[in-house]
Structure 1
Amino acid sequence: MTCNISYFHPHGIIVLSRIAIFGGSFEDIFPGIKYRILGASPMFYIPLGRELCLWMGGVDASRSTGEKVLDEGNSIVVYPGGVAGIFKTNPNSKETQLVLKNRLGFVKLAMSHGADLVPTFVFGEKWLYDMWNPPKSVTSFFRKTLGIPVLVFWGKFWWMPKAPAKGKRYGLVYGKPISTEHNDNPTDEEVRAVHSQYVAEIERIFTQYKSEFGYDEDETLAIV
């Protein structure tokens, strides 16, 4: 069985879809596929953060760890964008921004193992919480020194997410897998060719399915 790397977009604030999807439904949708979730490295140094990540099947999101997981025959689930993706979350904007334009590492990782790339879009992730960004000087300090985001967010009861508004719903759509040929030393052109296929599939998913989840017709997707 070919290993795959599933990328979930957008990152959102605390990627609550991890709990919704990996609370048991992943095994029902993809029986027999063993996977690990890659979590941001700083999470493993925060009190209780490491335990939470491990409980959810998470491992450090370093290149070496990703290589090891794939070498063991497991698949990988990633929420790309990191801290930058968190601050691109805006529940009131008509434009959903994905931090993806210059992210090529995941393509190289897939190609080094001949793994499939599975584009996945989580509709409604941006509506789970309201948020307020502190002054940029504050957020920049914590991002540079600790590598963690600092922002204020709230749902129905603080961290409890809000229910979808009337006419809207939460859910995700898996895209068509993008196959890669095993290549330990791909050229920049080869990497960007696969990356372009990936971006095109994410854009197709958003455009084709956004109305089914309550997104307005004039809502757009931006790759930044």
Structure 2
Amino acid sequence: MAIEFASRSVPLERRLQTAAVLQWVYSFLALAQTCIILFFVLLFTRFWIISVLYGIWWFIDWDTPSQGGRRGPWLQKSVVWRYLRDYFPIKLIKTADLDPSKNYILGFHPHGVLVAGAFTNFCTEATGFPLLFPGLTPYLLMLPLWFRAPFFRDYIMSGGLIPSDKESASYLLRHNKGGTALVIAVGGAPESLDARPGAFTLLLKNRKGFIRLAIENGAYLVPIFSFGENELFDQVENPKGSTLRTIQEKMQKLMGVALPLFHARGVFQYSFGLIPYRKPINTVVGKPIPVTENSNPSSEEVDHLHKLYMEKLSELFEEHKTQYNVPADRHLTFI
């Protein structure tokens, strides 16, 4: 295979965009592991006191991620994220106002490989979330595992991330009487195994936990479809029943994280690597679905709202798909 190298005349602006994406990919794939190694390595150097003091702080601060986290506006406003936004580029599209006196659960679809749209739109201010939805504070849910990594936990909390368990989500909805927007990539890690260009398969048919959470707390539901999310990477073929898929699913159940074998381009060449393609992402936020609070909803109530949610998500997709170059004969598939 011939390697296509990047031109030396690439403008500085584009080089900075690539650098921003490179650090983001590294943060997503390896920063947690780097922080864990650093924590233990420091213990065997003259800087051991750093790890010891952090360990004490970590013990005192253990419950913070589950109690709303600790946001860092300095990080969310960083110029780095504007370069990340412009690399693709990524846009946040509003279709209706969201009343800041209400709480919301925003269902994000599809998960994609690295949830680029969810991170950029809701963990940074690069696409203008505070301007589009004044009075709302977004919190993106992430696997609880990552909040057990020293140093890394503080970094991701600064971006407004919280653990994706029911207790952490319920805490915010109970304690904040309005203005909270929980963003949930409903398909989760398993859905990333089907994330490839042209795919419109969503792991949603039996995902009802977020529906029950909404009813129990009276939080309005908002469907979101991020057009272009699956176009960023190619993935090794892994159809259901294949040896690779079986191994990936077993690893996912064992570790809690999916391991899609994805690839795209490199930093200095366009033929292979882990840097995403420059494909536009248009994240469309749908209209809110009113929810009546019930601390003990029945299965029928959950099923009814779940069916309504899927209908509204499909309507959102159908209404906007041709605008974002999705063929008219393509439709969402729920599994």
Calculate the TM-score normalised by the size of structure 2: 0.61
Structure 2 vs 1, CA of residues 189 and 47 (structure 1 numbering), >3 Å: closer, same or farther?
A: same
Establish whether residue 67 from structure 1 lines up as the match of residue 170 from structure 2. Answer: yes
Comparing 154-163 with 28-37, greater Cα deviation is found at: 154-163
Equivalences for 1:160-179 in 2 at 5 Å?
A: 160-164=275-279, 169-179=280-290
Pairing partner for 1:90 from 182, 193, 196: 196
Amino acid in structure 2 at the alignment position of 1:185? N
Q: What's the offset of the Cα at 1:46?
A: 5.6
User: 1:149-202: per-residue Cα shift (whole Å, max 9, x none)?
Assistant: 1122223323432123xxxx4202111101111101111111111111110010
Amino acid in structure 2 at the alignment position of 1:38? L
User: 1:15-71: per-residue Cα shift (whole Å, max 9, x none)?
Assistant: 001233132021121111123211122333467753453232111100011100111
Contact 1:170 1:213 in 2 (8 A): no
- Structure 2 CA distance for aligned equivalents of residues 132 and 52 of structure 1: 31
The residue number in structure 2 matching 1:222 is: 333
- Structure 1 CA distance for aligned equivalents of residues 331 and 151 of structure 2: 37
The residue number in structure 1 matching 2:233 is: 129
- Structure 2 CA distance for aligned equivalents of residues 151 and 199 of structure 1: 26
User: 1:82-126: per-residue Cα shift (whole Å, max 9, x none)?
Assistant: 122111212144xx1111111111111111111100001000101
- Structure 2 CA distance for aligned equivalents of residues 193 and 141 of structure 1: 32
Structure 2 vs 1, CA of residues 112 and 149 (structure 1 numbering), >3 Å: closer, same or farther?
A: same
Equivalences for 1:1-224 in 2 at 5 Å?
A: 1-22=101-122, 23-24=124-125, 25-45=128-148, 50-73=153-176, 74-93=180-199, 96-132=200-236, 135-157=244-266, 158-164=273-279, 169-224=280-335
Q: Per the alignment, in what secondary structure is the counterpart of residue 31 of structure 1? A: coil
Comparing 28-37 with 150-159, greater Cα deviation is found at: 150-159
Q: Per the alignment, in what secondary structure is the counterpart of residue 150 of structure 1? A: coil
Amino acid in structure 1 at the alignment position of 2:255? L
RMSD, aligned α-carbons: 1.9
- Structure 2 CA distance for aligned equivalents of residues 137 and 97 of structure 1: 18
Structure 2 vs 1, CA of residues 49 and 140 (structure 1 numbering), >3 Å: closer, same or farther?
A: farther
- Structure 2 CA distance for aligned equivalents of residues 16 and 56 of structure 1: 14
Percentage of matched positions with identical amino acids: 29
Amino acid in structure 2 at the alignment position of 1:156? R
User: 1:121-150: per-residue Cα shift (whole Å, max 9, x none)?
Assistant: 000101011122572343134212211111
Contact 1:91 1:127 in 2 (8 A): yes
Structure 2 vs 1, CA of residues 54 and 155 (structure 1 numbering), >3 Å: closer, same or farther?
A: farther
- Structure 2 CA distance for aligned equivalents of residues 29 and 52 of structure 1: 25
Structure 2 vs 1, CA of residues 118 and 161 (structure 1 numbering), >3 Å: closer, same or farther?
A: same
Unaligned runs of 5+ in 2: 1-100, 239-243, 267-272
